């Protein structure tokens, strides 16, 4: 009797530890929990967010945190690693930058993928440099013998999303975990690499969800090469899809999950499996981005799931916090109706 009880508990734990068929699907509940962790990376102490996100029974413990100088505009590249022996999971969280959004936009606009990333394709040298400086912490944690079979979540917002997008395929490339043991959820991630990198990434990291919010400007940067064979329909904003064969310029990896609305509970989202692959023109890359007026685009970048991500994290993920609303109401609402008024493919 007793031994069958133990066997039963063991099975439960093992079942928890292995990402399964459900993980091929986007799970918003899980994404909301990971957003809390991504927000917590902006805080000096992730513990209050962890306590508000997980039950004590899940026993999510801060294993390590790191902060190293990144060379681009003098920002640190920072993050932390959480482990749960109960769930047999490790979660690697990267922080976004503290630089003003405007400076960031100027910097990222000019970045092109130019650095080889372990034979996986070209990536941006700034993101690669940030990856190199933080990799040791990830490698150390994932190499601890006790955790060797633990599944790994990788997450982050903004620059943190870019670092997650490099860390995850590196984990598989270096044999620290197999593809089915890794799951990535990022928020407002820029384009980290080129088309070759995108293809390799999709093979190495099949459970990967790149959440984007309305006209968040950062996922548009650095620019992709436009598909010049496309003729914008009369009356459109002149927006052009990415060229699905050019290896110049940035190109996203999969799989985008686009929220055209305000991301509050129950907001519709789109699973962006349309063409061009990973740059689905009916998702965030559809609306044209005006880099001269990024007020709304920057607000959408900082706000995910109804919270201002850096402030929410610094405030310990307190659900009673309130945040400034968007600069204009009509912009977002008209975007929702323009998308959902004419298209059926949404969840």
- Residues forming the active site: 158, 216, 301
Q: Note whether 24 and 207 are within 8 A (CB).
A: yes
What are the respective helix, strand and coil percentages of the chain, to the nearest 5?
Answer: 40, 20, 45
| Strand, helix or coil for residue 25 | coil
Instruction: Judge if the upstream peptide bond of residue 253 is cis by omega within 30 degrees of 0.
Output: no
How would you class 76 by CB atoms within 10 Å of its CB: exposed for 0-12, middle for 13-18, buried for 19 or more? Answer: middle
Nearer to ligand NAG, 33 or 195 (CB): 33
Residue 53 CB, nearest distance to ligand NAG (Å)? 10
Of the candidate spans 23-31, 183-191, 203-211, 293-301, the one that interacts with ligand NAG by CB under 6 A turns out to be 23-31
Nearer to ligand NAG, 114 or 264 (CB): 264
d(CA 271, CA 259): 9
Nearer to ligand NAG, 114 or 334 (CB): 334
Backbone angles phi, psi at 3, to 5 degrees: -65, -35
Nearer to ligand NAG, 20 or 175 (CB): 20
Q: Of residues 240-279, which lie at the interface with ligand NAG (CB under 6 A)?
A: 261-262, 264
β 122-124/113-116 pair status: antiparallel
Residue 298 CB, nearest distance to ligand NAG (Å)? 17
Distance spanning both ends of the chain, measured CA to CA: 46
The rounded Cα 320 to chain-centroid distance in angstroms is 25
Residue 263 CB, nearest distance to ligand NAG (Å)? 8
Binding mask 26-65 vs ligand NAG (x if CB under 6 A, - otherwise)? Answer: -x-xx-----------------------------------
Nearer to ligand NAG, 26 or 230 (CB): 26
Q: Note whether 25 and 80 are within 8 A (CB).
A: no
d(CA 131, CA 67): 12
Q: Note whether 122 and 196 are within 8 A (CB).
A: yes
Q: Of residues 321-340, which lie at the interface with ligand NAG (CB under 6 A)?
A: 336
CB count, 10 Å around CB of 107?
A: 17
Residue 140 CB, nearest distance to ligand NAG (Å)? 26
Q: Examine residue 22 and tell whether it contacts ligand NAG (CB under 6 A).
A: yes
- Total site size for ligand NAG, rule CB under 6 A: 8
Residue 231 CB, nearest distance to ligand NAG (Å)? 32
Binding mask 90-129 vs ligand NAG (x if CB under 6 A, - otherwise)? Answer: ----------------------------------------
Residues forming contacts to ligand NAG in the complex (CB under 6 A) are 22, 27, 29-30, 261-262, 264, 336
């Amino acid at each position: 009797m007793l031994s069958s009880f133990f066997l039963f508990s063991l099975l439960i734990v093992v079942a928890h530890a292995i990402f399964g068929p459900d993980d091929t699907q986007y799970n918003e509940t899980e994404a909301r929990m990971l957003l809390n962790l991504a927000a917590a990376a902006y805080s000096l102490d992730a513990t209050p967010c962890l306590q508000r996100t997980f039950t004590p029974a899940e026993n999510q413990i801060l294993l390590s945190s790191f902060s190293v100088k990144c060379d681009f505009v003098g920002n640190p590249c920072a993050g932390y690693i959480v482990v749960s022996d109960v769930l047999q999971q490790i979660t690697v969280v990267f922080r976004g930058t503290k630089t003003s959004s405007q400076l960031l936009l100027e910097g990222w606009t000019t970045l092109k993928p130019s650095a080889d990333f372990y034979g996986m394709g070209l990536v941006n040298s700034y993101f690669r440099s940030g990856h190199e400086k933080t990799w040791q912490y990830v490698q150390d944690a994932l190499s601890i013998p006790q955790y060797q079979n633990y599944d790994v979540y990788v997450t982050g917002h903004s620059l943190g999303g870019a670092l997650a997008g490099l860390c995850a395929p590196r984990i598989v490339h270096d044999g620290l975990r197999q593809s089915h043991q890794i799951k990535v959820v990022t928020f407002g991630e820029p384009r980290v690499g080129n088309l070759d990198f995108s293809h390799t990434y999709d093979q190495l990291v099949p459970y990967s969800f790149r959440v984007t919010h309305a006209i968040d400007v950062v996922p548009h940067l650095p620019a992709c090469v436009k598909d010049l064979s496309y003729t914008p329909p009369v009356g459109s904003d002149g927006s052009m899809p990415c060229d699905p064969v050019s290896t110049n310029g940035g190109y996203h990896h999969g799989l985008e999950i686009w929220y055209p609305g305000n991301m509050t509970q129950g907001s519709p989202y789109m699973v962006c499996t349309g063409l061009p692959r990973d740059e689905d023109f009916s998702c965030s890359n559809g609306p044209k981005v005006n880099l001269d007026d990024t007020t709304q685009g920057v607000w959408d970048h900082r706000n995910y799931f109804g919270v201002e991500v850096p402030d929410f994290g610094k405030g310990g993920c307190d659900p009673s916090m309130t945040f400034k609303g968007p600069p204009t109401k009509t912009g977002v609402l008209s975007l929702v109706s323009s998308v959902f008024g004419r298209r059926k493919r949404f969840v």
